[in-house]
Amino acid sequence: MRAINKLTDRSIKSWLRTATSGEQISDGGNMRIRISPAGTPMFQIKFSFAGKDGLIYSAGVYPTVSLQSARAQREWVQTKIREGKNPNQEKALQRVAAAVAADNTFKSLAEDWLAKRKKGWSDSHYDKSKRALERDVFPTLGRLPINSIPPLLVSSVIEAIDRRGTRDTAARVLQHINSIFALAHGRGLVQDIPSTHVHEVLSKSKGTRRRPSATDKKTPEQGLQALGAILREAEAASLSPAVRNAHRLIAFSVARIGNIVEAEWSEFRLEDSPPLWVIPRGKMKVQERDHDHKIVLGPTIAAELRTWRRITGGKGYLFPARGRKGDTHVCREAVEKAYRITLGLDGKHTPHGWRAAFSTLARDPGFQREVVELTLDHLHDNEVARAYDRGERLQQRIELANWWDAQLSQAERGGEVVPLKRA
């Protein structure tokens, strides 16, 4: 058996003191150091492939490439030949892949992803998403090739956000990261998406627990009376105009509080028939859809929003923070505090409670489950429901929105509660 690994650094250095162009010294296993015409000591590995002998694989210049590294390349060359692959062609492909990776950093893909979504997003939502990536993601992942990012690194980014006590922000940023990797996967830049299971590192969402609703443990008529009482108490309470109107939009639209406080006038079509609120999908909790979420607005809330538009000027956020001109919205805590403290509803009813009440009360008069779920933009659990998840059943949703509007309006007026029947 031929000797292998015959050289040492000491023997190589001793040989180089007198070696001239064209001379060579063998390490065994078809690897040698050869002096180039320019006087450079080059590692070379001879191999045969596809019936051709005497092919040369260049492993680099000594001592920039160490003896140990050159031997590792020799093993790699032999492995490729056993796999039926030309080592020189494989090396060229690696160079191309490295060049592509250098041009396709996470940041470059993220910027491309943002640009593709800009047309479908409002300016403020685009700016908010861009700032979140720049603040929380780019410092760690931005310069890295998109195909070299492991799950551990993505997890560290998300956990750092979560530790600030901003679990919802962490979840939204993770949704963005998932979409960016999906874009890279679609272009063939990554084989696997490393962020797929990172949601498991998020702290348990407070939203997973059952939040109280005034309709809990009540008959439908009693529940509606309780909702009417809340609407009356809110009208009499000392609330800022923005918080008061945000509360009413929550009640009548049954949208999530996050969408309420971030609502923008550009999303509302109050002159359409029926009036609509179209929320960009990027702002929704459920991301597994390719269309925006439409909320049909009943006549009462549509009229109130038209009045509110005249008061605020109809630009920027619907509910600007106190003393601001539409560039900053009220925070969800301001609305939740109004329920919890000002209205004394702690443990009795929350902004989310309107969604629970709507889901419960709409079933009694016979509205189909799929129509109710579409209105709430819930993630459907069956194929039949998902089949209607492209803006269909609009007529049923108009009927449902107008029914809910009428129920709340009559309940707010007090007196005898209207029977829970469809018109």
pLDDT at 324 over 60: no
Rounded average pLDDT over 58-73: 94
CATH of domain 9-99: 3.30.160.390
Q: Write down the pTM of the prediction.
A: 0.55
pLDDT tens per residue across span 233-269:
999 999 999 999 999 999 999 999 989 998 999 999 9
Would you state the pLDDT for residue 382? 46
**Residue 351 pLDDT grade (very low, low, confident, very high; cuts 50, 70, 90):** very high
pLDDT tens per residue across span 284-303:
776 656 678 889 999 999 99
pLDDT at 37 over 70: yes
Q: How many CB atoms lie within 10 A of CB 220?
A: 19
Would you state the pLDDT for residue 168? 81
Rounded average pLDDT over 28-56: 92
Q: How far apart are CA 251 and CA 166, in angstroms?
A: 25
User: Which residue did the predictor score with more confidence, 323 or 405?
Assistant: 405
CATH of domain 211-413: 1.10.443.10
Least confident segment among 6-10, 74-78, 93-97:
93-97
3-state DSSP of the chain = CCCECCCCHHHHHHHHCCCCCCCEEEEECCEEEEECCCCCEEEEEEEEECCEEEEEEEEEECCCCCHHHHHHHHHHHHHHHHCCCCHHHHHHHHHHHHHHHHHCEHHHHHHHHHHHHHCCCCHHHHHHHHHHHHHHCHHHHCCCEHHHCCHHHHHHHHHHHHHCCCHHHHHHHHHHHHHHHHHHHHCCCCCCCCCCCHHHHCCCCHHHCCCCCCCCCCCHHHHHHHHHHHHHHHHHCCCCHHHHHHHHHHHHHCCCHHHHHCCEHHHEECCCCCCEEEECHHHCCCCCCCCCEEEECCHHHHHHHHHHHHHHCCCCECCECCCCCCCCECCHHHHHHHHHHHCCCCCCCCCCHHHHHHHHHCCCCCCCHHHHHHHHCCCCCCHHHHHCCCCCCHHHHHHHHHHHHHHHHHHHHCCCCCCCCCC
Q: How far apart are CA 382 and CA 387, in angstroms?
A: 9
**Residue 383 pLDDT grade (very low, low, confident, very high; cuts 50, 70, 90):** very low
Would you state the pLDDT for residue 423? 52
pLDDT tens per residue across span 154-212:
999 999 998 888 888 888 899 899 999 988 888 888 888 898 888 888 877 554 455 78
pLDDT at 11 over 60: yes
Would you state the pLDDT for residue 56? 93
pLDDT at 384 over 50: no
* CATH topology agreement for domains 9-99 and 211-413: no
Domain locations along the chain: 9-99, 106-207, 211-413
113, amino acid identity: W
Query: What value does the CA radius of gyration of the chain take, rounded to a whole number of Å?
Result: 32
**Residue 100 pLDDT grade (very low, low, confident, very high; cuts 50, 70, 90):** low
Would you state the pLDDT for residue 104? 82
Closest CA to 411 of 214, 190, 118: 214
Q: How far apart are CA 240 and CA 280, in angstroms?
A: 27
CATH of domain 106-207: 1.10.150.130
